[in-house]
Amino acid sequence: MSFNVPDDLRYLESHEWVHTDGATARVGITDFAQDELGDVVFVELPDGGDNLTAGEAFGVVESIKAVSDVYAPISGTVTAVNESLFDRPELLNEDPFGDGWMLEVEVGDEGELDELLSAEEYRDQIV
Amino acid sequence: MTLRQSPLAGVYEDPTLTDFGGWEMPVEFDSIRIEHTAVRETVGKFDVSHMGQVTVSGPDALELTQRLTTNDVAKLSPGDAQYAGITDADGILLDDTVVYRLPDESDDDYLFIPNAGHDGEMTERWVTHRDEWGLTATVTNRTEEYAMIALQGPEAQDTLTAETALSPDSLGRFEVASGAVAGVESLVARTGYTGEDGFELLCPASEAETVWSALNCQPCGLGARDTLRLEMGFLLSGEEFNPRDEPRTPYEADIGWTVALDTEFVGRDALAARKREGVAETLVGLELLDRGVPRHGYDVNDADGEPLGHVTSGTMSPTLGVPIALAYLPTEYTDPDTPVQVVIRGEPKEARTRATPFIDR
């Protein structure tokens, strides 16, 4: 089994990704994570304006067979929530790096990004 | 502890595996949803070799099995099967099982199917009581000798007919016959755990691969087996009953129809009293109206937030697209459409009681 690991993202060992564009970061779970979970049926996310702390759980993803916490790759304030996941949680399976994104965050400390895994390091972890 | 391996363990391509009752079994081949849908709409095959097989033969085979299961074994003709509970002296379910009276040509008289990991304990139970009661019967745990494959779905008969000289269409529900499947001498029973038409095949472990490979359909794992049985409200040993953590009588577990009080069996007197007095709690179906997935152990409250009971099993129903669960609640909550709450991660979620099966079968 080979998994999609886009080169332009940074990763957390617990299988979350982050994509930064200036001070805005988009966050989601990886292709490997969605495959491990199987059919995702429920997503619980914070509200806009909530604060995330790097390394702490910010939400929950439930598949038919499992419940999994989702951890914040970086700290910051939530500026957008992908509300389409509430009605179509299967987007996390179908397009985890695209339509299945979870949150956008205004990044507090860009230095935290250096703590995250590169695509190559993450690829090594999931082999 | 080393996990027990199915005789089919080497056959699967890349399944996700899980520990179930001391066995390492496939939980998912493609996706639970794909596998579930195949069984509801066409046909799927499951490796259920983790289920036990214990044969009982000899002059007192009937009496021994009659006195250790809740249903009336004397009603079985050769080639018949029945669902039953196995209870202790207090009427508490130790296991649920299907008892087969084997076809005349079989070497053994009766076969029963304990749940995963219970085969040793149930064989011991039969042997101990046989000796205590001075009965003459041979009790043999054949779990390692057999593979068990479930073929389930509206097209199961077509799939099986292509591979056997038997006439599967002549086999009625809860009937069993012996015959070759893909050239392998097998027992073929019209039984299952999905609510669909289908068969359960028992064949020698050494030839399991031949039978499995010949059945041309979607392989399904224990994940889909669980969602399929839950939509039917069928019990799962360890979840809906368990003598340690969830001691329940057949009446509480809503399988009172398997209790033949006019027969003599361990637990009969206790169950007769329970039936007379009525039970305080009963297994009921729930549908969650809010978003979320009810799961084993979650608390259930009444509409005002007062504790009532707990969820024994729950899932997102792939067929209905709504979250469903089973829970033990005070017996007055068996009426459908009674509002209740399921507490998920500390948050009360709106739910209502529902009749089972959840789907129309």
Identify the structural domains of chain A with CATH numbers, from first to last: 10-112 (2.40.50.100)
d(CA B279, CA B266): 19
Instruction: Please name the helix (run of DSSP H) or strand (run of DSSP E) that holds residue B268, with its range, or none.
Output: helix B268-277
Q: How confident is the model at residue B337 (pLDDT cuts 50, 70, 90)?
A: very high
Question: What span, in angstroms and rounded, lies between the C-alpha atoms of B298 and B309?
Answer: 9
Residue of A nearest to B14 (CA): A1
CB spacing of A42 vs B316 below 8 angstroms: yes
Residue-range domain boundaries for chain B: 4-51+144-232, 54-141, 280-354
For B315-333, what is each residue's pLDDT tens digit?
999 999 999 999 999 999 9
Nearest to B27 among A60, A65, A86 (CB): A65
User: Is B54:B123 a contact under the CB 8 Å cutoff?
Assistant: yes
Contact B227 A67 (CB under 8 A): no
Q: Kindly write down the DSSP assignment for every residue of B3-69, as one continuous string.
A: PEE-TTTTT-SS-EEEEETTEEEEEESS-HHHHHHHHHHS-EEEE-TTS--EEEESTTHHHHHHTTS
pLDDT of B1 reads 60
Superfamily name with CATH number, domain B4-51+144-232:
Probable tRNA modification gtpase trme; domain 1 (3.30.1360.120)
* Nearest Cβ partner for B31 among A39, A42, A60: A39
Give me the mean pLDDT over the B40-69 stretch.
98
A67/B223 Cβ within 8 A = no
Average pLDDT score, chain B:
96
Per-residue pLDDT of A14-44, as tens digits, reads: 999 999 999 999 999 999 999 999 999 999 9
As a whole number of angstroms, the distance between CA B43 and CA B218 comes to: 7
ipTM beyond 0.90?
A: no
Whole-angstrom Cα distance, residue A41 to residue A63? 5
**Taking CA atoms, what residue in B is nearest to A85?**
B291
pTM over 0.90: yes
pLDDT on residue A68? 96
* Confidence label for B14 from pLDDT (cuts 50, 70 and 90): confident
CB B334 within 8 A of CB B288: no
Peptide bond into B357 cis (omega under 30): yes
Q: Which of B27, B28, B316 sits opposite A41 (nearest CB)?
A: B316
Does the pLDDT of residue B256 top 80, yes or no? yes
- The DSSP annotation for B163-190 comes to TBSS-GGGPPTTBEEEEEETTEEEEEES
Distance from CA of B293 to the nearest CA of A (A): 7
Residues in Cβ contact with B286 at an 8 Å cutoff, skipping those fewer than 6 apart: B294, B300, B311, B314, B324, B325, B326, B327, B340, B342, B351, B352, B353, B354
Mean pLDDT of B4-23: 88
* Residue pair B173/B157 in contact by the 8 Å Cβ criterion: no
CATH number of B54-141: 3.30.70.1400
Contact B286, B299 (CB under 8 A): no
Confidence band, pLDDT 50/70/90 cuts, at residue B13: confident
Inter-chain CB proximity A65 and B316 less than 8 Å: no
Sort out which chain B residues have CB atoms less than 8 A from A41's CB and list them: 293, 316, 323
- Residue type at A83 in one-letter notation: E
pLDDT per position as a tens digit, B167-193: 988 999 999 999 999 999 999 999 999
Residues of A in contact with B27 (CB under 8 A): 65
- The per-residue pLDDT string of chain A (127 residues; one tens digit each, 9 = 90 and over) reads 689 999 999 999 999 999 999 999 999 999 999 999 999 999 999 999 999 999 999 999 999 999 999 999 999 999 999 999 999 999 999 999 999 999 999 998 889 999 999 999 999 999 8
Cβ pair A86:B291 closer than 8 A: yes
CATH number of B280-354: 2.40.30.110
Instruction: For residue B316, list chain A residues with Cβ-Cβ distance below 8 A.
Output: 39, 41-42, 62, 64
- How does DSSP classify residue B237? B
**Where residue B135 falls among pLDDT bands split at 50, 70, 90?**
very high
pLDDT digits (tens, 9 = 90+) for B196-230: 999 999 999 999 999 999 999 999 999 999 999 99
Whether chain B has a CB inside 8 Å of the CB on A35: the answer is no
Per DSSP, the three-state class of A46 is: coil
Distance CA B298, CA B310 (A): 5
